[in-house]
Structure 1
Amino acid sequence: MRPEGTIEVEETLRATLRDVLGLSPERVAAFDAATPLFGALPELDSMAVAGLLTELEDRLGILIEDDDIDGETLETFGALTRFATDKALQ
């Protein structure tokens, strides 16, 4: 069973990826925990990462410090979802 609020965070993350990266709803809906992100999605370059993180802060009401982010955080959709969920539900 998922902690309360997890589904909402995942839905917000999917919407943010669609909006910031210009991805189709169908493409983002197909993402699962193992879907690779940074390095696999040409839309997710270093400039897009900054925009994505800023938008997640706004939409989830969280603060993301530079120290919070490393290569593993953006490696897969599952890793990014866990990160966002941990930040939003702590």
Structure 2
Amino acid sequence: MDVTYAETLDEVREVLVSVLGIEDRAAGLDASTPLLGSLPELDSMAVLELVAAIEERFGFTVDDGDVTAELFETLGSLSAFVAERRP
């Protein structure tokens, strides 16, 4: 199945919203939405929860070395990472 970046973006948004419990702000999240340092809910523990949820939802393992500030810079950067690695 060929999944588009837009579909991956939507799915990553769903995971992010669910993990952080920010359903009330989901509609305002797009690819350019800054994450780390901008969403108070996204602290170090939430990053770990988000990585685990991404691994479970998309069926691949995120290496520790991949968990960087750049990866969590925006919803778009996180979605691009997932799109590249999802099976």
Superposition TM-score, scaled by structure 2 size: 0.87
Identity rate of aligned residues, in percent? 42
Structure 2 unmatched ranges of 5 or more: none
Instruction: Indicate yes or no: 2:40 matched with 1:38.
Output: no
46-55 or 32-41, which moves further after superposition?
Answer: 32-41
The C-alpha deviation readout for 1:15-65, integer Å capped at 9, x for no partner, is 1111100011x5223222211001000000000000000000000001100
TM-score normalised over the length of structure 1: 0.85
Structure 1 spans left out of the alignment, 5+ residues: none
The alpha-carbon deviation at position 9 of structure 1 amounts to 2.0
Q: Say which structure, 1 or 2, has more relative contact order (CA 8 Å, 6+ apart).
A: 2
Instruction: Check the 8 A contact 1:12/1:60 in 2, yes or no.
Output: no
Q: Secondary structure at the match of 2:56?
A: helix
- Provide the aligned C-alpha RMSD in A: 1.4
Separation (CA, whole Å) in 1 of partners of 2:33 and 2:50: 17
Deviates more, 1:39-48 or 1:80-89: 80-89
**Paired positions, count:** 85
Separation of aligned partners in 2, 1:20 and 1:14:
10
